[in-house]
Amino acid sequence: MILANAELILPDRVMRGAVHVEDGLIARITEGAEVPPGAEDCDGAHLAPGLIELHTDNLERHLRPRPGVDWPHSAALFAHDGELAAVGITTVFDALRVGTVIRDQAAEPRYARALADELNALVAAGRMRISHHIHLRAEICSETLLDELAEFGAEDRVRLVSLMDHTPGQRQFRDLSKLAQYMQGKHGYSDAEFADHTARLRDMRDRVGPAHEAGAVAAAKRLGAVLASHDDTTAEQVATSAAHGIRLAEFPTTMEAATAGHAHGIRNIMGGPNLIRGGSHSGNVAAEELAREGVLDIISSDYIPSSLLLGACHLARLWGDLPRAFATVTAAPAEATCLCDRGRIATGLRADLIRLADIDRTARVTGSWVKGRRIA
């Protein structure tokens, strides 16, 4: 396969040229606008590496489209897979929650072990369009975390474990009014029920937090997974993350944490929705502030898959540097998770590619390929 007459987004420049694919890999890259016989003419459209998504709640949205609704899992997995392919994501780390608060009336049942089995079976059977890996979201403030982590082994392809601490009054929900707005809006809590909910979670964190944090760090090592922090807020929290060996920070909530992370060699991930909306829905630091300060490394689509591409284009306008912007959704997430076979248009790497139109306006995907096979 040859994709010709395209504006290739290379690691260090944009070049009119062609990508030649053999056996699922990029065999060579040629410069110029000519269209060899049998090649697909991209007519000057941009060609970028396939996008790499490290933290998305999108699968859970398909699994439980409404509170109390458990959608058939295979149907949810196929819909999630197809949606990501359509918006240019060719590699995804599917976030599965481990750790449940059993006595919380709003809690959803544990599901990660069974869902991982279903996902891995579909991957092994070649039924998924894009490349799927497992990301375990380890809920520190829970009752079942250590039991659930023990159910996973090296054969499960867990590549990322993030330490999630949603104890009310700190990290993402330092502002309890924002948490109240969320919980009362989603679950219909009264003021008294919300007060009881926050008190029980704080007590639980005091009792099990240290053991769960240590257990999650050990589990990541056992599974051979990259370890990430989540919602770091203070320099002290970042120092703790660094001591755990963390080199990836999901959604730091303050500039203090983001700059401290960079000083420790930690890559910062921020949400595409935050970047596009101009701020965090939880009242935390704006992703664009990190971008302007040079401490934004990776974008995640978080809860809106299309925001990954839109976020890269937003950064391209902000920085005036298209390759640098697209690296935040391609090369940087690949390098951070040791996926050395993708993330760049370069000879010898996987031919995971996307063709883009209207890149200077509302960018849209007009073609997606995984290992040289057209998927969208």
Please give the average per-residue pLDDT across 309-328, as a whole number: 98
Is 24 within 8 Å of 371 (Cβ atoms)? yes
Query: Which of 292 and 282 is assigned the larger pLDDT?
Result: 292
For residue 317, is pLDDT > 90? yes
pLDDT tens for each residue of 96-151: 999 987 665 556 678 999 999 999 999 999 999 999 999 999 998 888 999 999 99
Amino acid identity of residue 243, one-letter, is A
In a domain, 354, yes or no: no
Please give the average per-residue pLDDT across 77-93, as a whole number: 98
What SS3 state is found at 236? helix
SS3 letters across 90-126: EEEEEEEEECCCCCCCCCCCCCHHHHHHHHHHHHHCC
Please give the average per-residue pLDDT across 55-84, as a whole number: 93
Is 81 within 8 Å of 130 (Cβ atoms)? yes
pLDDT at 228: 98
For residue 52, is pLDDT > 60? yes
Q: Tell me how far apart the alpha carbons of residues 95 and 356 are, in angstroms, rounded to a whole number.
A: 27
In a domain, 70, yes or no: yes
For residue 186, is pLDDT > 60? no
In a domain, 350, yes or no: no
Percent of the chain with pLDDT strictly greater than 90: 79
**The domain containing residue 311 runs over which residues?**
51-341
CB atoms within 10 A of CB 185: 9
CB atoms within 10 A of CB 118: 13
Say which DSSP state 194 is in: H
Q: Tell me how far apart the alpha carbons of residues 171 and 95 are, in angstroms, rounded to a whole number.
A: 19
First to last CA, the chain: 16
In a domain, 8, yes or no: no
What is the CATH number for 216? 3.20.20.140
In a domain, 226, yes or no: yes
pLDDT at 103: 61
Say which DSSP state 343 is in: S
What contacts 286, CB < 8 A, 6 or more positions away? 274, 278, 279, 280
Best CA proximity match to 148, nearest among 96, 85, 78: 96
In a domain, 77, yes or no: yes
What contacts 324, CB < 8 A, 6 or more positions away? 315, 316
Query: Which of 279 and 86 is assigned the larger pLDDT?
Result: 86
For residue 168, is pLDDT > 90? no
pTM, rounded to two decimals: 0.91
pLDDT at 295: 98
For residue 189, is pLDDT > 80? no
In a domain, 17, yes or no: no
What is the domain count for the chain? 1
What contacts 176, CB < 8 A, 6 or more positions away? 168, 169, 198
Q: Tell me how far apart the alpha carbons of residues 192 and 185 are, in angstroms, rounded to a whole number.
A: 15
For residue 175, is pLDDT > 90? no
In a domain, 298, yes or no: yes
Is 51 within 8 Å of 365 (Cβ atoms)? no
pLDDT at 194: 65
